[in-house]
């Protein structure tokens, strides 16, 4: 029961991918990241914002992310998350495999449609 | 070593995490306020959008942990605090567990030593002994002693085995060392006996085949302790002659300090078995070792081939059409066979104790869990899962069980020492019994098992836990546990009834055996044994002179009324011999009888009443008519109540012996009848002076005669005077020690006493636990129903009625248990049939006492806690609501 993920509607690793993708463009703090993901996913993912944090900790532990002090848009001192070299590498790998999978699914759908 | 670094950076990680989450919320709130929301509303909205703050933080922290281990550790710390906070509960549980696990640990260590531990020899699995299986009218399957013929065939015609034989027990001998003579226990072993055990002497060598031959050279092997204590660890003793049994024996070896043999003797001599005398009967026990490359099937086939074509197959004496086969049995099983059923029965009894304890604890923990429902409700409301709470409960149970198990090891250690002190020396055929690794592992396992057994019900109750009603009613319960608790009590009471009834039957058996009319008067009698297995006493003249002079000297001791010598005493095992009835209706019948040689004063010294004819006198000498006095059983069996006096029997197949008197039966240890502990068997008393000289040497190998003194004076100082009197006849003859007849009876009934002591202890423990169980049940009902009782009393119920209302639950449970227990007894007690004497399996007085005892205990255990009802003030309880 403790393993139940709030993101279980997504395919495995989707949240990580979104976080990596977002942070690789620009390092952010937690709140900004949550807002951003909500916006770009068009509120599609009805998730609790807090659910982001266990994922962030996991990625910190794996070494894909690192954190440092920074300043928020409102000028508060906040903890900023940014992607490490290892994180970038993982993201690229994930994207390419995701694309392959997506291409595969599309082909199947195409064949099935025709 | 990343995990190691993480251990130290974790605190910082947690801080950063909390900080991030705080920032997140603050920023969100500020955003919302900027959008025009009130601060209060904004805070609420932000929190709702974020989700369960505590849970998120916990999940996020878990990333940095080894979750299973850390939550276990946290649970353990919490459990420890919980237990510390409820010392009454904790002490009760640990005490209960300590007693029940302790009992199991002690008994299991005995079972372990008897059945599981390997014998202390190399490759014990290749060691065996031989069982004889007879099917037919009288079927049996047991280790049987061997004749010389069997031994010879086993040694020469069974190549799959290395075999050896020994006398079945040690016998008392005299060893002259320096200025004085010592009474020692000698073991008589064949050549290769030590080879079968695969032990080598520390000094010297084993007996050779030549030394084992009949009339071969006299040789001896010393035990380590004898070599050290008597010979001052002198290595030059090898090759020297020592004076043993009045003859020179050459020392050929000394055993090492660690060597233990099944005989456990002080000194070993070679058996020198031949076809005559000892070897003509079944008098030796075999041990075997499988030779390299052979297997047990081959060995058994060879034994059957070798032994089935013998001239004298004594196995067929009773029933010539019986089927007789032989098979090998692991040596360990062979030497512990008689004790196994008892050890297993005790293990079963302690198993019951464990179940009873678990039933008690299940009830206690169940109540405790229900009492803690507000705590669980709060935790559930805060986001804990049911599984987390269950885990918490299991960890608490585990901690209790381990505490109990640890205390149980200590109790078991003490109990085992007490148990071993209770046992007579050399009662168990194993050198020592210890709490070894296997016993500790067993204790750990049963501790875990108990935690599962008593934790099961609370855990199940937790699954039915209703959060809503728990919060609403302040004390929600998942269903009514009273029925369940009553059922648990009933089960433990039922098991207690069984144990009580079983121990009651054993106690009645022991009382019966102890109060059996012994047939003689034991007061004022002192006895002492001496070994006449001595070259000098092979001469009948010296033998007669010794008896005459020593008894005469003892009669001179002030206060002594009678002094006599007998080959064996009442309560002891007697020599078995074959007789043929010469006349009367049973003429020609062969029979086995106990035979005791005595001096004339024997009946007077023991005050065995003469029923007919005359006693033996000094006039019955070696050259006069051979005479005998028989006991009542003998007379009844072979002369059918007719006057036996004047009839003749053939004793030792040659001499015509005239029966001159009949005496009363006395209690003796069984020889002919193997089932009863004390029997009146056919017995013949013959004059020591008329004993066949050849038989004399042989019986003194097996039996050490006893000097019997009856005194009117004080017993103190008598033993020294007896020793002096014996020394006046033979200064080189030591007594083995002095025994009153009470000592001898106690020794004969040792098995029964041990059984009674152990099973009674178990039954008492079971009763104690059941009492605690009933007490706790009622006490708890009083505590739970305080309000209800207050209302009842306020509405006009008397205190007495309220007490009955409360106590009834305990009485019902106990009554149900009693009925269940009696049904259980009806089925299970039949298994005890073979160990009961003078009492039937369904013994009304025993059952009555069990019922009364349980009734009394139930009454006390329900009344005492119910008395608290009197202290309930209805006004106060109602106000508290």
Residues in B touching A67 (Cβ below 8 Å) = 16, 20
* ipTM score of complex: 0.78
Residues in B touching A27 (Cβ below 8 Å) = none
> In this model, does residue B289 exceed pLDDT 90?
yes
Per-residue model confidence as pLDDT tens digits over B722-764 = 999 999 999 888 888 888 888 888 888 887 888 888 889 999 9
Give mean pLDDT, residues A36-53.
Answer: 73
**CB atoms inside a 10 Å sphere around CB A72:** 19
Q: A7 pLDDT band (50/70/90 cuts)?
A: very low
> In this model, does residue A60 exceed pLDDT 50?
yes
B364 to chain A nearest CA, in Å?
A: 29
B462 to chain A nearest CA, in Å?
A: 16
Residues in A touching B387 (Cβ below 8 Å) = 1-2
Does B291 reach chain A within 8 Å, measured CB to CB? no
> In this model, does residue B394 exceed pLDDT 50?
yes
CB-CB under 8 Å, A53 with B20:
yes
Higher-pLDDT residue of B642, B848: B848
Q: B250 pLDDT band (50/70/90 cuts)?
A: very high
**DSSP assignment of A33-87, as one string?**
HHHHHHHHTTT-S---GGGHHHHHHHHHHHTSEEEEEEE-TTS-EEEEEEE-HHH
**DSSP assignment of B389-448, as one string?**
HHHHHHHHHHHHHHHHHHHHHHHHHHHHHHHHHHSPTT-SSSS-----HHHHHHHHHHHH
DSSP H or E run through B166:
strand B161-167
Please tell me the predicted confidence (pLDDT) of residue B217: 92
Please tell me the predicted confidence (pLDDT) of residue B99: 92
Per-residue model confidence as pLDDT tens digits over B18-43 = 888 888 888 888 888 888 888 899 88
Residues in A touching B26 (Cβ below 8 Å) = 76
Q: B476 pLDDT band (50/70/90 cuts)?
A: very low
Higher-pLDDT residue of A38, B221: B221
Per-domain residue ranges of chain A: 14-113
Per-residue model confidence as pLDDT tens digits over B72-83 = 787 888 888 888
> In this model, does residue A9 exceed pLDDT 60?
no
Please tell me the predicted confidence (pLDDT) of residue B104: 92
Give mean pLDDT, residues B807-833.
Answer: 89
Q: A4 pLDDT band (50/70/90 cuts)?
A: very low
CB-CB under 8 Å, A31 with B27:
yes
d(CA B214, CA B192): 16
Q: CATH code for A14-113?
A: 1.10.10.10
CA distances from B540 to B53, B110, B536, B735 (A): 105, 47, 9, 20
- Calculate the average pLDDT of chain B: 86
CB-CB under 8 Å, B20 with A30:
yes
> In this model, does residue B875 exceed pLDDT 80?
no
Please tell me the predicted confidence (pLDDT) of residue A5: 42
Sequence-ordered list of residues with C-beta below 8 angstroms from that of A68, at least 6 positions apart, any chain: A79, A80, A82
The single-letter DSSP state of residue B296 is H
A28 to chain B nearest CA, in Å?
A: 11
For B822-853, letters b (16+ CB in 10 Å) and e give: bebbeeebeebeebbbebebebeebbebbbeb
| A61, A74, A79: residue with CB nearest B64 | A61
| A1, A48, A79: residue with CB nearest B51 | A48
DSSP H or E run through B63:
none
> In this model, does residue B267 exceed pLDDT 90?
yes
> In this model, does residue B824 exceed pLDDT 50?
yes
> In this model, does residue B653 exceed pLDDT 60?
no
B204 dihedral zone (left: phi>0; alpha: psi -120 to 50; beta): left
CB-CB under 8 Å, B28 with A53:
no
Q: Which of residues 342-401 of B touch A (CB under 8 A)?
A: 385, 387-388
Per-residue model confidence as pLDDT tens digits over B319-345 = 778 888 899 998 888 878 878 888 888
């Amino acid at each position: 029961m403790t393993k139940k993920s709030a993101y279980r509607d997504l395919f495995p690793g989707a949240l990580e991918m979104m976080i990596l993708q977002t942070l690789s463009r620009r390092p952010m703090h937690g709140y900004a990241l949550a807002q951003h993901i909500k916006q770009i996913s068009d509120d599609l993912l009805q998730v609790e914002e807090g659910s982001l944090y266990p994922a962030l900790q996991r990625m910190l532990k794996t070494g894909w992310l690192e954190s440092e002090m920074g300043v928020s848009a409102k000028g508060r001192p906040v903890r900023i998350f940014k992607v490490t070299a290892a994180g970038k590498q993982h993201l690229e790998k994930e994207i390419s495999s995701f694309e392959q999978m997506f291409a595969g699914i599309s082909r199947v759908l195409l064949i099935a449609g025709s | 070593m990343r995990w190691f670094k993480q251990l130290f950076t974790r605190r910082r990680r947690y801080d950063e995490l909390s900080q991030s989450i705080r920032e997140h919320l603050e920023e969100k709130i500020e955003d919302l306020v900027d959008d025009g929301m009130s601060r209060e509303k904004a805070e609420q909205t932000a929190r709702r959008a974020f989700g369960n703050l505590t849970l998120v933080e916990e999940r996020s922290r878990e990333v940095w942990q080894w979750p299973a281990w850390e939550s276990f550790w946290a649970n353990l710390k919490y459990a420890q605090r919980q237990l510390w906070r409820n010392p009454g509960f904790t002490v009760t549980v640990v005490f209960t567990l300590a007693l029940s696990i302790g009992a199991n640990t002690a008994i299991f260590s005995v079972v372990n030593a008897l059945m599981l531990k390997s014998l202390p020899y190399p490759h014990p699995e290749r060691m065996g002994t031989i069982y004889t299986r007879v099917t037919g009218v009288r079927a049996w399957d047991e280790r049987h002693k061997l004749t010389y013929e069997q031994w010879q065939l086993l040694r020469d015609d069974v190549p799959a085995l290395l075999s050896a034989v020994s006398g079945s027990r040690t016998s008392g001998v005299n060893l002259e060392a320096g200025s004085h003579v010592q009474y020692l226990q000698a073991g008589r072993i064949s050549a290769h006996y030590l080879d079968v055990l695969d032990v080598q002497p520390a000094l010297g060598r084993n007996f050779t085949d030549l030394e084992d031959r009949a009339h071969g050279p006299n040789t001896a092997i010393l035990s380590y302790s004898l070599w050290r204590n008597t010979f001052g660890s002198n290595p030059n003793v090898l090759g020297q002659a020592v004076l043993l049994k009045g003859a020179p024996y050459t020392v050929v070896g000394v055993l090492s300090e660690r060597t233990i043999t099944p005989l456990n003797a002080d000194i070993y001599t070679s058996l020198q078995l031949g076809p005559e005398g000892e070897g003509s009967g079944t008098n030796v026990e075999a041990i075997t070792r499988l030779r390299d490359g052979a297997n047990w099937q081959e060995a058994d086939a060879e034994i059957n081939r070798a032994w089935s074509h013998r001239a004298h197959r004594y196995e067929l004496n009773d029933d010539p059409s019986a089927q007789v086969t032989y098979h090998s049995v692991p040596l360990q099983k062979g030497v512990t066979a008689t004790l196994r059923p008892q050890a297993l029965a005790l293990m079963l009894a302690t198993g019951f104790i464990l179940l009873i304890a678990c039933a008690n604890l299940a009830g206690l923990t169940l109540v405790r869990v229900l009492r803690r429902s507000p705590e669980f409700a709060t935790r559930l409301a805060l986001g804990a899962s049911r599984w987390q709470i269950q885990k918490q409960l299991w960890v608490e149970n585990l901690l209790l069980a381990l505490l109990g198990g640890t205390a149980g090891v200590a109790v078991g250690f003490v109990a085992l020492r007490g148990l071993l002190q209770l046992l007579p020396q050399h009662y168990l055929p194993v050198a020592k019994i210890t709490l070894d690794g296997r016993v500790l592992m067993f204790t750990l396992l049963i501790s875990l098992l108990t935690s599962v057994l008593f934790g099961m019900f609370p855990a199940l109750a937790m699954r039915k836990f209703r959060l809503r009603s728990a919060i609403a009613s302040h004390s929600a319960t998942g269903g009514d546990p009273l029925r369940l608790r009553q059922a648990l009590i009933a089960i433990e009471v039922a098991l207690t009834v069984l144990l009580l009834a079983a121990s009651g039957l054993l106690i009645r058996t022991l009382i019966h055996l102890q109060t059996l009319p012994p047939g003689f008067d034991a007061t004022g009698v002192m006895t002492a044994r001496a070994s006449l297995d001595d070259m000098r006493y092979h001469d009948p003249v010296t033998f007669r002179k010794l008896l005459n002079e020593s008894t005469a000297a003892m009669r001179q001791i002030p206060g002594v009324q009678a002094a006599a010598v007998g080959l064996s005493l009442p309560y002891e095992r007697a020599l078995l011999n074959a007789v043929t009835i010469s006349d009367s209706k049973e003429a020609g019948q062969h029979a086995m009888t106990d035979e005791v040689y005595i001096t004339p004063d024997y009946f007077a010294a023991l005050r065995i009443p003469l029923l007919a004819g005359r006693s033996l006198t000094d006039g019955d000498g070696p050259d006069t008519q051979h005479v005998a006095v028989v006991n009542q059983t003998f007379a009844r069996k072979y002369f059918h109540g007719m006057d036996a006096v004047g009839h003749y029997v053939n004793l030792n197949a040659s001499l015509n012996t005239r029966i001159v008197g009949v005496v009363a039966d006395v209690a003796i240890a069984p020889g002919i009848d193997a089932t009863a502990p004390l029997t009146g068997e056919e017995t013949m008393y013959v004059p020591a002076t008329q004993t066949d000289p050849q038989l004399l040497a042989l019986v003194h190998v097996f039996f050490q005669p006893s000097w019997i003194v009856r005194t009117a004076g004080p017993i103190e100082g008598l033993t020294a005077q007896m020793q002096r009197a014996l020394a006046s006849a033979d200064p080189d003859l030591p007594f083995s020690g002095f025994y009153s007849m009470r000592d001898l009876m106690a020794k004969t009934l040792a098995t029964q006493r041990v059984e009674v002591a152990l099973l009674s202890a178990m039954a008492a423990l079971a009763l104690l636990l059941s009492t605690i169980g009933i007490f706790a049940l009622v006490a708890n009902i009083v505590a739970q129903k305080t309000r209800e009782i207050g209302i009842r009393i306020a509405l006009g119920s008397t205190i007495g009625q309220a007490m009955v209302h409360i106590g009834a639950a305990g009485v019902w449970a106990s009554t149900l248990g009693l009925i269940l227990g009696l049904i259980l007894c009806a089925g299970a007690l039949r298994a005890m049939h073979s160990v009961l004497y003078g009492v039937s399996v369904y013994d009304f007085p025993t059952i009555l006492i069990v019922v009364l005892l349980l009734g009394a205990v139930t009454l006390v255990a329900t009344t005492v806690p119910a008395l608290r009802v009197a202290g309930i003030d209805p006004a106060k309880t109602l106000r508290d609501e």
